[in-house]
Amino acid sequence: MKIHYECIACAVNQAQKIVEMSTEDVAQRKRAMLFIAQRLGEFFREDSIPATDGGRLFLELYAFLGNDDPFGEYKRISTELARDVAEDIGRVDDLRTALKLAIAGNLIDFAVGYDPKKIEEDVLSLASQELYIDHSNELFSELGNAKSLLYLVDNCGEIYFDRIFIERICEEFPGLKVYVAAKEGPIINDATVEDLREARFDEIAKVVSTGSRLPGTPLEYASSEFLRLFERVDVIIAKGQANFETLSDLKDPRIFFLLKAKCNPISRELGVPRGSMVCVRGKY
């Protein structure tokens, strides 16, 4: 997905939040925002992918601020609350219900100012709603014929609802080899390989790194090992807006995007109302 007009303001807004979470020093905050102002034109162009170029900008800001994980506390709170809710939900027997829980978990996103204390109420409410675009029957059919699945996670906290869905997939399709991929290191509130291991994903799937810290899955920044895996798997489930931004232009029918459309550019691309939950095939 190429950049929309709102994406630059969104990047600046996120940068301000990063700055405010990193330092209480007002003078340092001003220096950091001036640094961002100077760098914006170097990163954003007509053909920019917002998640990729925004992520590159944020990593430079992290270095400028000397803070490699400014979202650490937000991620800790999101993780603890989501883990408790997922444990309360427990086993889910219905595959489509598990899929909707995974999509509902995508609401945990600092970029849109989400308050993680609302997780339980919001996830259960969203999971009871219908999908605006629902290609889940196609997904389940493809999984039934597949030998391998690559599951690309999105945010911390959200991964505990992904785990419920993946556990159900493994039960429904016992011959399927499942790989779960996360970031190599911290970026905003995205889940890392370390987060997956902490959530014991290695008990149900093969945990792998994209080889990059950038949001989504920008293949031009991925490791050669990950690229070989990406090319050979039969089905890919991609969670969240950043994965849609970085992979939707491929028009790859192996990919199924699971997300909540939390901003106008994503809603516009998909042709759905803002706030809609979708399971949409890559060749849509």
pLDDT in tens, 146-197: 999 999 999 999 999 999 999 999 999 999 999 999 999 999 999 999 999 9
Q: Which long-range contacts (CB under 8 A, 24 or more apart) does 66-72 make?
A: 67/22, 67/23, 68/185, 68/186, 69/186, 70/18, 70/21, 70/22, 71/18, 71/21, 71/110, 71/186, 71/188, 71/189, 72/186
CB neighbours of residue 121 within 10 Å? 10
Domain that holds residue 23: 6-65
Tens digits of residue pLDDT in 11-70: 999 999 999 999 999 999 999 999 999 999 999 999 999 999 999 999 999 999 999 999
The answer as to whether 37 is a domain residue is: yes
Structural domains of the chain, count? 2
The answer as to whether 1 is a domain residue is: no
Give yes or no for residue 113 having a pLDDT over 60: no
CATH number for the domain spanning 25: value is 1.10.8.380
Tell which residue, 93, 78, 172, 167, has the closest CA to residue 123: 78
**Boundary of a domain, candidates 65, 85, 110:** 65
Residues 11, 81: one domain?
no
CATH number for the domain spanning 97: value is 3.40.50.10880
Give the ranges where 128-219 is alpha helix by DSSP (H).
Answer: 136-145, 159-172, 193-198
Measured CA to CA, the distance from residue 252 to residue 146 in angstroms comes to: 16
Residues 275, 249: one domain?
yes
**Boundary of a domain, candidates 31, 46, 65:** 65
Tens digits of residue pLDDT in 225-274: 999 999 999 999 999 999 999 999 999 999 999 999 999 999 999 999 99
Looking at residue 82, its pLDDT comes to 87
Residues 101, 192: one domain?
yes
Residues 168, 48: one domain?
no
Residues 189, 100: one domain?
yes
In the chain the first and final C-alpha atoms are separated, in Å, by 13
